Structure 1
């Protein structure tokens, strides 16, 4: 039940995301610095504008054309005020609450940590998101291996084959997550990024299926290991969604602040350009005017570039963590 997605990495049916994807694609969508990506996109905008200008499609010697182009982009920047307000409202709606609501939320987080500590036997669980995930992932792999050891002597070939497939998928993904966490800065995004596309609901579904269909054939040790594995997979799903929520709140708040920082100079600079371009034409030659117009267009386009760079990451995280717990979209489990 394995498909080969490239020459080196097998793709298990228990994993709906590639175990390895293009490093360039992952850098663009997830791991790359958003400042670096915004700079790259700005260079692309500048290069396109310069190329069009030198090709003669932008009459830079006509002040009406250049100022209209910049003015239309500046006008499109104004709705960003509404976007910033909407983002802040979304973040605040998650942060604000009355004492009883905040107390329930706090007690829920404490209760979850204690449950994980009890199942993993880790004592006081780490406060760092990456370390906390590492504890759960290590426990998942250990329980999966213990379950396989308890099932190895079974005469039911179907049970043994299904167990091997489940444990192999868990071990493979566990090693990938360990490698990602070792190089992480133990920040919220690094912890979240390490489990994107891994340990999805198919593992939980498969483990529960084994428990239901083959429970009578399993020894007490196998049942104990399987029950703990199912519980740990549930805790891992909750932890991933929790860290996703924390990251989204931080990212949206930072994005709204960044849009304000970029938007104000953009509006001011665009206005100054439109007022002074007639005087600029009298001083500079046409090739230099092409560069000036390209710089102006790139500058007033910065809010859109920043929004695109951050929205790409947010949308990618949302799509790759769409499966939560026992629900598994994009995977056909009927075959």
Structure 2
């Protein structure tokens, strides 16, 4: 077992059971694809195929009497009745999105000024005249600056006479550099959309780095040169900006995703209600016209899949929204995820 794997196991043993804990990203690629990175349309199609196949198998086994119209229509009617509350869900989602978008001129001007001030602060500490407007490029600038400042900090601390401090800083710098490389590689392949940029930093550059650096800086303040102290402060400031940028892009993504989800539910809900209603009214005639029980099984399976589609769409999008919310829950100076040995 490598030293890195041993260190990872030690970290995992210290993970708390806090409700704010977000999982580390050493999970299986399949699970991450399902929860985060996977195309939602492909995932919805896959679940629809599962519903269709399951219903067809049960029907072909004889457990669904498709030649009796009452059984099939009762099932479809129950699912269609459950689809109607989606109207309330759509209205609630739109109300949530609109509550963040609407505002009076003073409120909107304050929000705009806050975003502009944040960009100016980032431009100042990264020594950039104009920061990128694309989320992926903006995060890339911050991550690159964090890695550069960490390397500068290492050089400055090397000049001190405390080998313990030098070793501790080297460990933190190595961790920052490793995460910076992972995030940079992910951002290079990211599209302009905010989710790709947000996905790249999920689980990286959390508050643990800042806490470790702040602890070292405060405990060894008397031993640091002015240049080393300044390097500590700049790196801490950059890590704060990474956290703020991540939460900002999370907010933008959530607003877009919720608005898109409400629109998609309306698109899917109308044909579901229409198709389910037509099926219930005509199934008696369909039985007489088709006659073949096998064909009726596949027909009923297709209709059941259709009326389940709104639930499937809601499920696949809620997976990603809830996962993002849980994995960015440790925003701020507190780190509920790891029990630190403060000494």
TM-score bucket (shorter structure): over 0.9
What are the equivalent positions in structure 2 for 1:278-293 lying under 5 Å apart? Answer: 278-284=284-290, 285-293=292-300
What are the equivalent positions in structure 2 for 1:10-29 lying under 5 Å apart? Answer: 13=11, 17-29=23-35
> Is 2:30 the counterpart of 1:49?
no
> Is 2:5 the counterpart of 1:4?
yes
> Is 2:238 the counterpart of 1:232?
yes
Q: Distance in 2 between matches of 1:220 and 1:27?
A: 46
Q: Distance in 2 between matches of 1:12 and 1:218?
A: 30
Alignment root-mean-square deviation, CA: 1.9
> Offset of 1:56 from its aligned partner?
1.2
Partner of 1:184: 190
Query: 2:150, 2:235 within 8 Å by CA — same for their partners in 1?
Result: yes
Partner of 1:113: 119
Q: Distance in 2 between matches of 1:158 and 1:24?
A: 41
Partner of 1:330: 337
Q: Distance in 1 between matches of 2:10 and 2:257?
A: 32
Spell out, residue by residue over 1:137-184, the C-alpha distance to the aligned partner (whole angstroms, 9 max, x if none). Answer: 000001111111111243433322321221111111100001101111
Query: 1:204, 1:325 within 8 Å by CA — same for their partners in 2?
Result: no
Partner of 1:297: 304
Partner of 1:76: 82
Partner of 2:149: 143
Q: Distance in 2 between matches of 1:191 and 1:255?
A: 20
**Number of aligned residues:** 332
- CA spacing shift, 1:12–1:155, aligned 2, 3 Å: farther
> Is 2:101 the counterpart of 1:95?
yes
Spell out, residue by residue over 1:4-42, the C-alpha distance to the aligned partner (whole angstroms, 9 max, x if none). Answer: 28xxx9578499753543211111111111111100110
Query: 1:139, 1:232 within 8 Å by CA — same for their partners in 2?
Result: yes
Query: 2:157, 2:166 within 8 Å by CA — same for their partners in 1?
Result: yes
Deviates further, 234-243 or 321-330: 321-330
Gapped regions of structure 2 (runs ≥ 5): 16-21
Query: 2:160, 2:225 within 8 Å by CA — same for their partners in 1?
Result: no
Gapped regions of structure 1 (runs ≥ 5): none
Partner of 1:315: 322
| Larger RCO of the pair (alpha carbons < 8 Å, separation 6+) | 2
TM-score normalised over the length of structure 2: 0.93
Q: Distance in 1 between matches of 2:160 and 2:331?
A: 32
Q: Distance in 2 between matches of 1:261 and 1:163?
A: 54
> Offset of 1:292 from its aligned partner?
0.5
> Offset of 1:212 from its aligned partner?
1.1
Query: 1:241, 1:321 within 8 Å by CA — same for their partners in 2?
Result: yes
Deviates further, 105-114 or 322-331: 322-331
> Is 2:298 the counterpart of 1:306?
no
